[in-house]
Amino acid sequence: MSQSTISTSESSQTGPQPRRMHHTKMPTLVFELSEEVDRYVANQIATLIREKQAAGEKAVLGLATGSTPIGVYRELIRLHEEEGLDFSDVITFNLDEYWPMEPDSIHSYHRFMWENLFHHINIPKENVHVPDGTVPLKKIEAWCDDYERQIQEAGGLDLQLLGIGRTGHIGFNEPGSSRSSTTRLVTLDPKTRKDAAGDFYGEENVPMQAVTMGVNTIMNARQIIILALGEHKAKITRVAVEDEVTDLVPSTFLQKHPNSVFVIDAAASSELTAVRIPWMAGLVDWTPALVKKAVIWLSQRVNKPLLKLEEADFMENQLINLLRYCDKSCEEIVHEVFMELQNGICLTPGGDKPITAICFSPHPDDDVISMGGTLITLANQGHDMHIAYMTSGNIAVFDEDASRHTKFVNQFLKMFNLDSEETNQLHQKLLSDLVDKAPGEPDSAEIQSIKGLIRKTEAAAGAITAGVPESKLHFLDMPFYQTGNVKKNPIGEKDVEIVANLLRELKPQQIYVAGDLSDPHGTHRVCAMAIIRALDVVKEEGIEMEVWLYRGAWEEYEPHEIERAVPLSPAVVHKKRSAIFAHESQKDQALFPGSDEREFWVRAEDRTKNTARVYDELGLPEFFALEGFVQYRGQL
């Protein structure tokens, strides 16, 4: 039987080339963009399939689910439709499935695979194997043994595709999984269930158990490709490829596989030693950005303000080559970094003359949560400030909120004798839609509209509090979001055109875009890509503007990344908090809070106050709070 080897050489792959990382214990390839990762991995799979076909053999693939491999599957579909990639003799085995789980459930990995891959390619149904979430408990052990037997009868896995969980799990092999484990029923780690809560509309709806291939099953594959995309995977990626092998982080077992590779995007690489502090991993190519990063890192490492750094600090912390490269004194280098940060502090973000500016808000509260202080400052300083809410945010509203608003309207109509048989029937239908819906089932079109209206009125109240009148608000309701599910569609031309039309209408001098791109398939990134594509369209028409990126509720840009820091006074922070409070459906307990359980207003204030503290510790002027921005210059 032929056996392929994963290619990590630059000459074997057309298109953008990856960086092969040093200071890792398994081959690690970094692409700048997640889309480049998708194309690379899909081409590796396609090459294997074609090599097997040429040898008269069947390719046996182990496949993963979740948001990470979706781009790979889309590229495989494209290769099938446009380049004739043939799947007729491909056999697949999926990693895992929730248990219990019906195959037609919207949460089922069986359904996921057919919707995202199998229905779009010419793979025979009998060649597809997905763990069965309906097997009775008393029969599950025998079923798992049979799954292992089927893999062996197929000749074993030629290639196993993996993602990585926040606990370091592969498949559903949670911390503590044995190296010798095989396919079995497992109990899910609380962190895994919390991470899945968004898909299930609440952690309480996430199954407690799952069926998964074991670590040994995975390690027996002849090739393994593991993917990580986005900043939220950066920390566990570093652990997986740099730390010691341990069953507490099952992905570290892959270090011992003879033909495995970790393929990640730049965001997921940010915590790797060779990326975060490359001067500690060997010689580096000193760019101005890297000089700035290193000097700030040194200041924080030795706990000294920038202007108190000495040559000895550089020499004792492996930065002597920086001094040699710059051919300047320690004082000159530090002074340049200090002045760059100092000059980036901006009290008038819109400039001295009135301008038109747009804040693009992916969800109806990202504007005030993420850059509410700057929004207030721009409005206070007399600029023509607009806010474009790109999606309705309707999936992030609890059913009880929709029920409460529905009952309020019904009572309102009764109070003023405006009710009718038709309105009463509609009221009963709406309540039934909410009560009869299964957990995680999409809302009816009417309930989706009501939840969207709740978010819309909250957004208007928040914007008015921030000083932006309702006449300056634009609710774009972009089509990609209108699925009724957590899973969204890819960006389409209509989405781009909606943004382009607003830019044509207002011709702003500045726009602000959510640069919180931790999830490559998430709403923030999708919205950003729609805006970037729209910018390319209007640029050809002679419309150009400054583009500033802001971060979301979770964390600010690092100080070496920040190009503009807008100071916030206590009064501005208080008004920003009031604007966030206007989003009542997201107050106290948001539907999708992420892994951070703090309320959004607390996260926002902690973030901006921490940035001010960092600037103060670097020896810069002391402020109550700071919001940071990075200027977009053609690449996210």
Give tens-digit pLDDT for 96-155.
Answer: 999 999 999 988 999 999 999 999 999 999 999 999 999 999 999 999 999 999 999 999
- Is 497 known to be catalytic? no
Q: Evaluate whether residue 175 is within a structural domain.
A: yes
Q: Is 293 found in the same domain as 211?
A: no
Q: Is 163 found in the same domain as 77?
A: yes
Q: Is 495 found in the same domain as 385?
A: yes
Which residues contact residue 226 at a Cβ distance below 8 angstroms, ignoring those fewer than 6 apart?
161, 162, 163, 164, 170, 240, 251, 254, 260, 261, 262, 263
Q: Encoding tokens for residue 34?
A: 């997640």
Calpha distance 355→375 (Å, rounded): 13
pLDDT of 2 above 50: no
Q: Evaluate whether residue 248 is within a structural domain.
A: yes
Q: Is 92 found in the same domain as 176?
A: yes
Tell the burial category of 259 from Cβ atoms under 10 Å away from its Cβ (0-12, 13-18, 19+): middle
Summarised one tens digit per residue, pLDDT across range 252-272 is: 999 999 999 999 999 999 999
Q: What is the CA radius of gyration of the chain?
A: 26
Q: Is 157 found in the same domain as 114?
A: yes
Length of the chain: 636
The DSSP call for residue 390 is: -
Predicted TM-score (pTM) of this structure: 0.85
Q: Is 285 found in the same domain as 205?
A: no
Total tally of structural domains belonging to the chain: 3
The DSSP call for residue 318 is: T
Q: Is 236 found in the same domain as 126?
A: yes
3-class DSSP assignment, residue 413: helix
Q: What are phi and psi of 519, to 5 degrees?
A: -110, 110
Q: Encoding tokens for residue 441?
A: 């089932």
Residue 82 sits in a domain whose CATH number is 3.40.50.1360
Q: Evaluate whether residue 153 is within a structural domain.
A: yes
Q: Is 334 found in the same domain as 311?
A: yes
Q: Once rounded to an integer, what is the mean pLDDT over residues 610-623? A: 97
Q: What are phi and psi of 389, to 5 degrees?
A: -90, 115
Find out whether 67 and 519 touch, Cβ atoms under 8 Å: yes
Q: What are phi and psi of 233, to 5 degrees?
A: -105, 5
Q: Give residue 9's pLDDT.
A: 45
Calpha distance 118→134 (Å, rounded): 21
Q: Evaluate whether residue 66 is within a structural domain.
A: yes
Q: Give residue 555's pLDDT.
A: 76
Find out whether 305 and 299 touch, Cβ atoms under 8 Å: yes
The residue among 540, 473, 466, 463 whose CA lies nearest residue 502 is 473
Q: Encoding tokens for residue 86?
A: 């043939």
Q: Once rounded to an integer, what is the mean pLDDT over residues 207-214? A: 96
Residue 14's identity, in one-letter code, is T
The DSSP call for residue 565 is: E
Strands 384-389 and 473-475 turn out to be: parallel
Q: Once rounded to an integer, what is the mean pLDDT over residues 374-402? A: 95
Domain boundary among 246, 274, 302: 274
Q: Evaluate whether residue 269 is within a structural domain.
A: yes
3-class DSSP assignment, residue 628: strand
Tell the burial category of 60 from Cβ atoms under 10 Å away from its Cβ (0-12, 13-18, 19+): buried
Beta strands in 321-468 (DSSP E): 356-361, 384-389
Summarised one tens digit per residue, pLDDT across range 55-92 is: 999 999 999 998 899 999 999 999 999 999 999 999 99
**Residue 517 — pLDDT band, cuts 50, 70, 90?**
low
Q: Give residue 441's pLDDT.
A: 78
Calpha distance 477→474 (Å, rounded): 9
Q: Evaluate whether residue 243 is within a structural domain.
A: yes
Q: Is 534 found in the same domain as 471?
A: yes
Domain boundary among 301, 324, 344: 344
Q: Is 171 found in the same domain as 37?
A: yes
3-class DSSP assignment, residue 513: strand
Q: Give residue 45's pLDDT.
A: 98
Find out whether 218 and 160 touch, Cβ atoms under 8 Å: yes
List the domain range (segments joined by +) for residue 56: 20-274
Q: Encoding tokens for residue 585?
A: 């459906």
Find out whether 165 and 186 touch, Cβ atoms under 8 Å: no
Domain boundary among 232, 254, 274: 274
Find out whether 333 and 295 touch, Cβ atoms under 8 Å: yes
Q: Is 306 found in the same domain as 262?
A: no
Q: Evaluate whether residue 240 is within a structural domain.
A: yes
Average pLDDT of the chain is: 92
Q: Give residue 1's pLDDT.
A: 39
pLDDT of 626 above 50: yes
Calpha distance 381→392 (Å, rounded): 29
Beta bridge mates, 61? 92, 159
The residue among 636, 561, 576, 631 whose CA lies nearest residue 608 is 576
Find out whether 626 and 567 touch, Cβ atoms under 8 Å: yes
pLDDT of 4 above 80: no
Of residues 415 and 437, more confidently modeled: 415
Q: Give residue 10's pLDDT.
A: 43
3-class DSSP assignment, residue 388: strand
**Residue 594 — pLDDT band, cuts 50, 70, 90?**
low
Calculate the CA dihedral of residues 518, 519, 522, 524 and round it to 10 degrees.
10
Calpha distance 327→313 (Å, rounded): 17
Q: Give residue 525's pLDDT.
A: 85
Summarised one tens digit per residue, pLDDT across range 531-587 is: 999 999 999 999 999 999 999 777 789 999 999 999 999 999 999 999 999 999 998
The DSSP call for residue 582 is: T
Among 148, 174, 242, 599, which one carries the catalytic annotation?
A: 174
Q: Is 340 found in the same domain as 360?
A: no
Calpha distance 8→12 (Å, rounded): 8
Q: Evaluate whether residue 3 is within a structural domain.
A: no
Residue 360 sits in a domain whose CATH number is 3.40.50.10320
Q: Give residue 381's pLDDT.
A: 97
**Cis status, amide bond into 100, omega within 30 of 0:** yes
From residue 110, alpha-carbon distances to 162, 206, 253, 435 in Å are 16, 16, 27, 27
Calpha distance 472→469 (Å, rounded): 6
3-class DSSP assignment, residue 294: helix
The residue among 390, 556, 615 whose CA lies nearest residue 481 is 390
pLDDT of 168 above 80: yes
